[in-house]
Amino acid sequence: MKTMVYLDNNATTHIRPQALEASYLAMQVVGNPSSVHGAGRAAKRLVEDARQEIAHLLGAKPNQVTFTSGASEANSLVLSNFAQTHRLLVSAIEHDSILQAGFDVEIIPVLPSGQIDLEAFEELLSNGSPSTTRPTFVSVMGVNNETGVIQPVETVWELARKYQAVSHCDAVQMAGKVAINFKDNGPDMLSISSHKIGGPRGVGALVADNRLELSPMIRGGGQEKNRRAGTENVAGIAGFGIAGKIALADLNNWGACTALRDEIEDRLKSAVPDMQIIGTQAPRVGTTSNLSLPGIKAETQVMAMDLAGIAVSAGSACSSGKVKVSHVISAMGYAPDVAGTSIRVSLGWATTRADVEKFIAAYTSFAHKNIPMDNRHD
């Protein structure tokens, strides 16, 4: 079986060897973190050490960190606490765990660049000030998972404070790639996921200002400061903490990855001039490239790359595994023939030049076989 070239790191990235080892060792610790005996205290120590590392990564205090099963659960926990009492403003490019959570939301539009429309956002805030209607809740992600576009979150949080809105950030693609300082002018709440930063799957965290009183969705125990009942996933949390420690240490070491991403875009654009690279009008993280190949469905491209031994993704995959038109690219104002033909190539800490070379060769070959001669350069 040939080795897969894995370029879908925004979906999940390779686990760090140190995080894998930490999880393995934690599995051998028998105690329940809620038990008061020595074995329980040993397990509790693993959880609290990890809490400290995640707090360091996010510029937060350890007692602000609540461990969850992932960022989707963290997002749901936040929404469930404010949906009945606040008007919900969310950006048009949020993850489905925000947009499809089953609550009535008002959409904040984005610009063709992929960044939030700050003028429209402030207008929405001013039209619903606390003096005239229910208080406002705002959720804007830090980095978009499909385009890599970095949102102007500092301005978003400043405006939220100006209009006394409660603020939340889905920071899943931001953590470990962009510096986060939660305690200094950050949002009121922030969600992250372990497996996006090199930790194990099935673990995440919600960071929240301690002045907020959040009711748990999962009840029946006092774990996690009464915000989430149930015995903590000690092994997963231990690996998450080590991944967070490494992510913080490597925060400024993405230059080589950015260079590889830029090389992909430069060489493919030269070979296929009609190909569009989406999101280049705004700052992006160096791990993500969104490519639209005219006239060829995203699903077809993903399948072709898979057959070539390369893992990439389309805009969004539903639970059945079918590909649907990207709501992110559509929200940016692109027509369906672009939104339906875009794929995401996402690099990670383990991506090599050899991986990139194989992808460029395979994708160029595929494009040349499937687009008109006058739309490409040999």
The neighbour count for residue 34, using CB atoms within 10 Å, is 13
In angstroms, rounded to a whole number, what is the distance separating the alpha carbons of residues 275 and 271?
9
Q: How far apart are CA 25 and CA 187, in angstroms?
A: 35
Rounded-to-integer distance, Cα 378 and Cα 363, Å: 13
Please give the torsion angle defined by the CA atoms of residues 84, 138, 65 and 234, in that order, rounded to the nearest 10 degrees: 70
- CA distances (Å), 97 to each of 42, 191, 232, 250, in order? 34, 11, 22, 28
Beta-ladder partners of 324: 316
Indicate the DSSP class of residue 180.
-
Q: Which pair of structure tokens corresponds to residue 369?
A: 């076989």
Indicate which residue of 184, 255, 318, 320 is catalytic.
Answer: 318
What would the two tokens of residue 197 be?
Answer: 């930063």
**228-to-68, 204, 216 alpha-carbon distances in Å:** 7, 12, 5
Point out which residues pair with 169 in neighbouring strands: 190
* Token pair 């590392």: residue: 53
318 labelled catalytic: yes
Per DSSP, the three-state class of 202 is coil
Where in the sequence numbering do the catalytic residues fall? 318
